[in-house]
Amino acid sequence: MGNQIHIPLTALTGGPLQPSRLAAGGVGATELPPASGRTFYLETFGCQMNVHDSEKVAGVLLRRGYRQVDSPAEADLVLYNTCSIREKAAQKVFSRLGQLRHGEGHQLVGVLGCVAQQEGERIFERAPWVNLVCGSASYRRLPELLAELESGRRRVVGLDTDTDETFETEFTRRDNPFRAYVTIIEGCDKSCAYCVVPFTRGPERSRTSDSILAEVRSLVELGYTEVQLLGQNVNSYRDPSPRRMSFAELLDAVAQIPGLRRVRFTTSHPRDFHPEIVQAIDANPVLCDHVHLPVQSGSTRILQRMNREYTREQYLERVEIIRRARRPISLTTDLIVGFPGETEADFEQTLTLLEEVGYDGAFSFKFSPRPNTAALSFPDDVPEEEKGRRLAVLQEKQRQIQLRRNQALVGSTVEVLVEGRSRPGQWTGRTSSNRVVNFTSPRVPNLGEYLQVCILAAGPHSLVGEQVI
């Protein structure tokens, strides 16, 4: 794992740069190659995996001497890193490409990520001014693909998913100066009926524990105190090196790295969520007390149609493991309403599960039929209007649960990592349980500082407090 490039902080806060932070980051420490005069624009859609992939793609381009610009109009190379989890997300890239139709003659255009893998060379038919189509499983070939573009080729593709390699780069341009993403596993071997990921990101490939630990150490040297381990299914991690570390062992090893204050991980799959993970959290205060455990539905019948490989009861057993931890661990989830065949009774099961578990947060969506998924052939028999009604009912119920759980924290003192200003005179940051806290302070806190904050009030999505002096 190579050098890390550190981006100055002004972009995030608009406030003065915190000298201490920059020194630690050491922009000067990593010499960029001479500028080639070429510029690139990179826009990212979708999940944290895509955000981190873009950080690495930008690192590859900076390593080639490109300079990043803020608008497509200024760029020699325009890149969109895309998401195809729902139809709406996929359509976004085609509307962007439409805007480039009459772009600068010399401009090169590339589509990366999940829509690239899903649509492949059909993109050239829909948008003939596109020059590069590259899926995430082919990113390790980016230097070679860019060389082909620079040599004058006008249609270049990277669509191979049959690989056991992961995307590791010499340079990674990191956007967030507080929380550093570290991919530990790519792809997915499961086949949930509604999900495009196995097709768009390919089979599971885990990085060696040594390369992950080395990357985290180099991030700590750069001044990072929080890292987030990423994967479609982090708890399916299988160390390919002779050390054969399990996910829980990897968590423990990362937590031992001096200088780290917080370690997060996302996303977990309930089938592979074992007690050792909670034991690791209990044994290491550095491991954050937050688990994201997508359930998708509360009905075993629908879970089986989704091919989620667990029942409602088995999912609740995992929740019980988490609830038995010595530390209170916040639990969040993902939910889909209106999956083909979902009856009112199935939906009621999802609502009762929300009550039974008491989630601290939930991302919820209407079912959207996707190409290259088993559910595409299922009759999409829940009317759109009814999907909308169920989503609204679910979100209102979850909002009340979150409000109740956040109100229980009023009067308590929590540790907050300061991430920025929320409004004049008020700062914002997150707790270890991943709650957003907006707070006042008698002084200007340092970004990236850890402060004790007394909670004075609570809303469904955030807490309000004042710094404890």
Can you give the binding site for ligand SF4, defined by CB under 6 A?
A: 188, 190-192, 195, 197-198, 232-233, 269
| Closest CB 163 distance from ligand SF4, rounded Å | 17
| Closest CB 376 distance from ligand SF4, rounded Å | 14
CB 357 within 8 A of CB 316: yes
State the virtual CA torsion across 158, 120, 108, 169 in degrees, nearest 10.
-30
**What is the phi/psi pair of residue 92, to 5°?**
-55, -40
CA–CA gap between residue 237 and residue 245 (Å, rounded): 9
Residue 195 vs 401, nearer CB to ligand SF4: 195
Max intra-chain CA distance, the chain = 64
Element spanning 242, H or E: none
| Closest CB 30 distance from ligand SF4, rounded Å | 33
Residue 296 vs 402, nearer CB to ligand SF4: 296
Radius of gyration (C-alpha) of the chain in whole angstroms: 23
Extract the tokens encoding 195: 């999900």
CB 118 within 8 A of CB 84: yes
Residue 269 vs 305, nearer CB to ligand SF4: 269
CA–CA gap between residue 464 and residue 365 (Å, rounded): 28
Residue 92 vs 190, nearer CB to ligand SF4: 190
In sequence order, which residues have a C-beta less than 8 Å from that of residue 193 and are 6 or more positions away? 305, 306, 307, 373, 374, 375, 378
Residue 47 vs 58, nearer CB to ligand SF4: 47
Residue 142 vs 197, nearer CB to ligand SF4: 197
DSSP 87-119: HHHHHHHHHHHHHTTT--TT-EEEEEEHHHHHH
Residue 134 vs 195, nearer CB to ligand SF4: 195
CA–CA gap between residue 431 and residue 450 (Å, rounded): 9
Residue 132 vs 197, nearer CB to ligand SF4: 197
| Closest CB 223 distance from ligand SF4, rounded Å | 32
| Closest CB 186 distance from ligand SF4, rounded Å | 11
| Closest CB 235 distance from ligand SF4, rounded Å | 11
DSSP structural state of residue 133: E
Residue 54 vs 373, nearer CB to ligand SF4: 373
| Closest CB 41 distance from ligand SF4, rounded Å | 29
| Closest CB 269 distance from ligand SF4, rounded Å | 5
Residue ranges of E strands in 315-424? 330-337, 361-366, 413-423
Burial 48-82 (b: 16+ CB within 10 A, else e): ebbbbbbbbbbbbbbbbebbebeebeebbbbbbbb
| Closest CB 158 distance from ligand SF4, rounded Å | 21
CB 452 within 8 A of CB 468: yes
Q: Tokens 């989830």 belong to which residue?
A: 333
Residue 363 vs 392, nearer CB to ligand SF4: 363
| Closest CB 34 distance from ligand SF4, rounded Å | 41
